[in-house]
Amino acid sequence: MKRTYVSAAAVAALTLSLTTACNDSGGGDGPIKVGAINGITGLFQTPEVPKAVKAVFEEVNAAGGIGGRKLELISKDDAMDPSRSGQAARELIQSNKVVALAGSSSAVDCGLNRATYTKNKVVSIPAVGVDPACFTSPNIAPVNPGPYALTTAMLYYASETLKRDKVCIDYTVLPGSGGGIEGAIKKWTEITGKTLAHKNLAVGQGDPTRYLVADKNAGCQAVLYNATVGPWFAQARTQGMQKTDFILAANSYTDANAKTIPPDMTAYAGTEWQPYTDPTLPGNDRWAKLVEKNGIQKTAFSQGAVMSADIFVQVLKTIKGDITRESVTKAFKEMKPINYPMVGTPYVFGPGDAHNPIQGSRFVKADKGGWKVLPGGFTVPGKS
């Protein structure tokens, strides 16, 4: 674990800022400051997310703001660097005096800053929750199912919808995320009573032959996979696995990946929101028009950005009186569920110590270099 040491002067300054924070938490007549920690550079890049959140805020501001106050997004790039992410959270809370965070999309934010958010009684509504801490923290509630709920839904789809008896998984698991994936597999087993025919949670880059041979020897009928798409399917085809159903995680659901899948291979992808490649689906019309108007890339992550901003605005509008960090936190802890058409279950923050309100996945199938949206709506394990 990387440790960061600070000087006595820095500790004194931090103590002073925390003491005064209670007296200056975003109230007044000025703009309502909202923070976000995003991956703009580094290994996990989501530059479209803060752009889409800002577009929603500008839309609200053009209509008069919230009680006459404008929304101001302050986004900080952590470049997937833990030290930068921690510094970004402290600056947003102590220096910028944000009332909350909305639309974050960092791979390291939740795990690193969860205690900071709890200590400062500030809530975060990420557009993209990645690591387990995003879903097991009292003051964080993402608007996406996340990779763990999605994995359970994908396994459920393989065994219950596709009716595959031998389901397997080949995943590249980020550091610290292995427990989340194991928990997702366990939940699927508890719901269905079934177990995996083969499991590998340490898939590396490079030649995928050995992983595919292992799947073939295990008799896998369906394989969940979350790493590089092109080389994987080229080798799967060489291995004669045309009758195997490959189910890709949401990170592989892109236009570019669809073009790399051979036409005689069967590939599905699980989505966290309504499939973004079909703008006619519920909730997608508003998102598509907004990002097109502002020249923002159409991705699933930009869907999450618009949803997190919309949810944030809707909850702010319920606040009676001054909008401060305290009133915003209280509003989210006491909010009623919001039915948002882009996802499978209602969004609610609530008072609990863990939050994973969005469940389920829709599925698409690779078809002629693109993605075909499959019928049936959202698959919610145990409820569909």
> CATH number, domain at 368?
3.40.50.2300
Identify the pLDDT of residue 192: 97
Domain residues for the domain of 189 are: 146-271+361-373
Q: Is residue 350 part of a domain?
A: no
One domain, residues 88 and 63: yes
One domain, residues 222 and 179: yes
Q: Are 233 and 261 in contact (CB under 8 A)?
A: yes
- Write 208-215 long-range contacts (CB < 8 A, 24+): 208/232, 208/235, 208/236, 209/235, 209/239, 211/170, 212/236, 212/239, 212/241, 213/239, 215/168, 215/170, 215/241, 215/244
User: For residue 250, what are the CA distances in angstroms to 58, 301, 312?
Assistant: 29, 10, 24
One domain, residues 137 and 174: no
One domain, residues 188 and 290: no
33 — phi, psi (to 5°)?
-85, 125
Q: Are 267 and 234 in contact (CB under 8 A)?
A: no
Over residues 85-143, the pLDDT tens digits come to 999 999 999 999 999 999 999 999 999 999 999 999 999 999 999 888 999 999 999 99
One domain, residues 60 and 160: no
One domain, residues 160 and 238: yes
Over residues 334-362, the pLDDT tens digits come to 999 999 999 999 999 999 999 999 999 99
CA distance 116 to 21: 13
One domain, residues 247 and 367: yes
Q: Are 265 and 233 in contact (CB under 8 A)?
A: yes
One domain, residues 159 and 238: yes
Chain-wide mean pLDDT for the chain?
A: 91
Which residue is listed with tokens 């200056």?
24
One domain, residues 229 and 298: no
Q: Is the pLDDT of residue 25 over 70?
A: no
Nearest to 92 by CA among 17, 28, 39, 167: 17
Give 146's pLDDT tier (boundaries 50, 70, 90). very high
Q: Which pair of tokens denotes residue 362?
A: 């829709």
One domain, residues 19 and 89: yes
One domain, residues 20 and 133: yes
Could you give the number of structural domains in the chain? Answer: 2
Identify the pLDDT of residue 158: 98
User: For residue 87, what are the CA distances in angstroms to 14, 76, 113?
Assistant: 12, 10, 10
Q: Is residue 355 part of a domain?
A: no
Nearest to 47 by CA among 97, 106, 98, 4: 106
Give 328's pLDDT tier (boundaries 50, 70, 90). very high
One domain, residues 127 and 68: yes
What residue type is assigned to position 142 of the chain? P
Residue 247 is inside which H or E element, if any? Answer: strand 245-248
